[in-house]
Structure 1
Amino acid sequence: MGAERPPEFDSGVAHPARVYDAWLGGTHHFPADQEAAELAAVANPGIVPAVRANRAFLGRTVRYLAGEAGIRQFLDIGTGIPAADNTHEVAQSVAPDSRVVYVDNDRIVLAHARALLEGTPEGRTDYIEADARDVESVLAEAAHTLDFSRPVGLMLVAILQYIPDADGPYGLAARLLDALPSGSHLVLSHPASDIGADEVAESMRVYNERAAAHGAATPRTRDRVRRFFDGTDLLAPGVVALPDWRPGPHDARAANIPMWGGVGRKP
């Protein structure tokens, strides 16, 4: 990771990574984060099940990529605070030689990044402090660990809602995919604006009032989420509510989860 710097953050202002940690039942957050998490959940009771469904979706997709799809390299952008079943833990439990690069621009995540670097002896993990919008820097740094002549699993899990339309989220995803070879896969999840629309809009309003300093969140419709997969072959069952993406026999099946997700393969 290079020389470590002390994390810079204001504990009195809600922070996306820490609010997410609160929704997951973690301990790496402050009262302002807990308040934002609780108020958003009151406005939309589906938000906590959605966050947990998102974590389960990440696990299922990584297991699929490392197993059936044979992917051995992962670029996980928008890492968040480490929790159970991080990408490298899931991938390396299936294929111990998997390589994983994490990318995040939040200093609070940097403070916990060492937990993301404890992989298997056969594999390798790395952490890059960078903004997802700086695609060239992300790819240049990731190339120290990943071989971009071989397929990569690109993980954009619950991150693109923080990229407003004015900053070109579709172009950002396309530029990342363009740098990856045939056989690479895009895994993407995104808050929905067309499932429980009123509740989602209110919870986003409450959240953005308290955390907008770190980037307001924008939910999108299924059709708009589907656009992120342009240029890929969308795998069955397509862009669906998270619990409906290839659930296992023991996966919880919650209704009205306000998040879309899918996996696409670059031809």
Structure 2
Amino acid sequence: MIPRGWAAALLAASVVWGRVPTIEPGAVRHVQEHEPWRIESFNAAKVNDRVRLDTTERCAPGAHSAGWADPGEHGGSMLDIVGNGFREPINVIISGQSDKGIMSDQGLLDYARSIGFSFECLHLHLGGLQHANLGDGRGYTPQLFEYRSILFHDSPGAWIGACWESLAGGNHFRVWRQNGTLADTGAWFLAVSKEEDVFQEHTISPNGYDVGRNLLVDAATRGSSFKGKSWRASVEWKTGLLPTGSQGINHNISLDGRVAILHVRRTDLQ
């Protein structure tokens, strides 16, 4: 008998293999020109190696003691742009002064796995990329990653991707890094939202932006572990970075205007 988690993953894989997504040409060119280490050919024997992640750990320079900078200071925004022209909130920031181990691409993925997320099912992306201007001098750039919720941190989804979430819906987040010349903080900026299942076309759940943010923050502040490492986050809530209400927001969903600033620390080394 096939375990439930694997059965769901195989079912989701059969769906997505028949619908190989198209990637926006501008995003592909950006990655090829500026971040070529993110791309390598597919190795069918080891799905997790389809996308090779940078392992360079980057810490925030001393000029940014908070580990992040307000994008609005240099013409950016905490609202990203969706393909339909509406906006979605970037509602969580992982400070660049967090544990240096999670400040690399691979480190962030390991940390995401520890709090119940993983990469998309078999590394297949459906739908368009969203773009954000973090006020760091690079203008609008496409999201780097999109991570979706899994059943638990050591479920099969941690290694083959969040295939169950691709079908059943759940929490997910898109990722950008603030590392341009105007604000080289190294911080991760996350647009978090809870979404419905595939039969409802993954539309955002009612109050899904605030709910998704809160679910992620709860998991981070409870503490987590993965591959022998443990972390716990403290949270600082900021207002004034995001608007309140629903004007111009995708799906006409209202925001409470709060952004969670996470400072993540290793706890197994203390």
Relative to its length, the structure with more helix (as a share) is: 1
Is TM more than 0.5 here? no
TM-score by length of 1: 0.29
Relative to its length, the structure with more strand (as a share) is: 2
TM-score by length of 2: 0.29
